[in-house]
Homo-oligomer: A and B are copies of this chain.
């Protein structure tokens, strides 16, 4: 390993795509992942279907993992954390710590940070909607895991829920908690999960309380129209103010802003559409690699939109949700962009040295 190697930190969909791309074009890559397995959030959080078309997440991600593992130019380090980044562009030294707490180093010419996001913790919001009080208030990733297990039951009593609602923008578009940005994917994910619920529980009634439905591009025709017309999901433009217990159900209170009147509905299961925040790994890597973060803690790409993957430090690139809210297609695209920039950077140094 040496200066013609690229280090990719993080083994989720972005890191996998970056590693695969680098190796496919003939460069060496070391892929470092903290967990003992590859795949990132889709695997850790047990995603059920991918947006927009609902293909099963696990086998799709497994295919990407297999491609990476099969390439002899790729070295994969699992259960391993980056604890130091020394040196400079073209000749970085990265110190790794394995679970056995044994430190070792390797050299690389460029670094790609693919450390992703964490779901917003509703315990941190002033609008927590009873997430820690009522077992039947869950989050989007909680529901994703239930869907994957084909067991969507009310945590309070193990019964099949009949009335289910989603509350959008939990931890997003919210100045009070400091997350003014939109998390981009939650409208599409809620609609996808709502569709999956209606398919799995045909007797259920599913509502989505939203501010704006951000079903951009093909999400409009591929997810949003069928959700309404084929799956009869009800979209209510409204602001939810509180979730209270009532009997063995949940009373969801707020305002229907289209009808301009207060609203109260009884629900069996309430799903909080929690937004994206930088993962602890993204914050750590930004600090270790010495790259600027934006006010939210995501990694800053000063050259956006025409160069959305270069950080403010030479030789260090980032991709996917380490840069901010991103859907899975955004993530693999920006990962390819980061891979290309990293290899292009190494090549430009090699050419300069040869001349």
A50 contact from B257, B305, B341, Cβ within 8 A? B305
A329 to B217, CA, bound (A): 14
A353 to B25, CA, bound (A): 16
A332 contact from B215, B225, B305, Cβ within 8 A? B305
Given A212-B212, A215-B182, A258-B258: A13 and B329 interface contact (C-beta under 8 Å): no
Q: Is residue A247 within 8 Å, beta carbon to beta carbon, of the partner chain?
A: no
Q: How many residues of A contact B (CB 8 A)?
A: 61
A258 to B51, CA, bound (A): 30
Most buried by B among A17, A24, A172: A24
Residues from chain B with a CB closer than 8 A to the CB of A337 are 332-333, 336-337
Q: Mark A54-71, 1 if CB is under 8 A from B, else 0.
A: 000000110110000000
A323 to B53, CA, bound (A): 16
Task: Determine if A13 and B306 form an interchain contact, defined as CB atoms under 8 angstroms apart.
Answer: yes
Q: Which of A79-87, A101-109, A154-162, A343-351 contacts B (4 or more CB under 8 A)?
A: A343-351
Look across to chain B and name the residue whose beta carbon is closest to the beta carbon of A212. B212
Task: Determine if B343 and A329 form an interchain contact, defined as CB atoms under 8 angstroms apart.
Answer: no
Task: Determine if A51 and B220 form an interchain contact, defined as CB atoms under 8 angstroms apart.
Answer: no
Q: Is residue A214 within 8 Å, beta carbon to beta carbon, of the partner chain?
A: yes
Q: Is residue A44 within 8 Å, beta carbon to beta carbon, of the partner chain?
A: no
Task: Determine if A324 and B218 form an interchain contact, defined as CB atoms under 8 angstroms apart.
Answer: yes
Q: Is residue A260 within 8 Å, beta carbon to beta carbon, of the partner chain?
A: yes
Given A218-B181, A340-B25: A329 and B305 interface contact (C-beta under 8 Å): yes
8 new A-B pairs (CB below 8 Å) besides A214-B216, A308-B333?
A: A26-B347, A51-B305, A180-B221, A182-B218, A214-B215, A216-B216, A307-B332, A336-B337
> Which 9 residue pairs spanning A and B have beta carbons closest together?
A24-B344, A336-B337, A333-B333, A182-B220, A305-B329, A180-B221, A212-B212, A184-B217, A184-B216
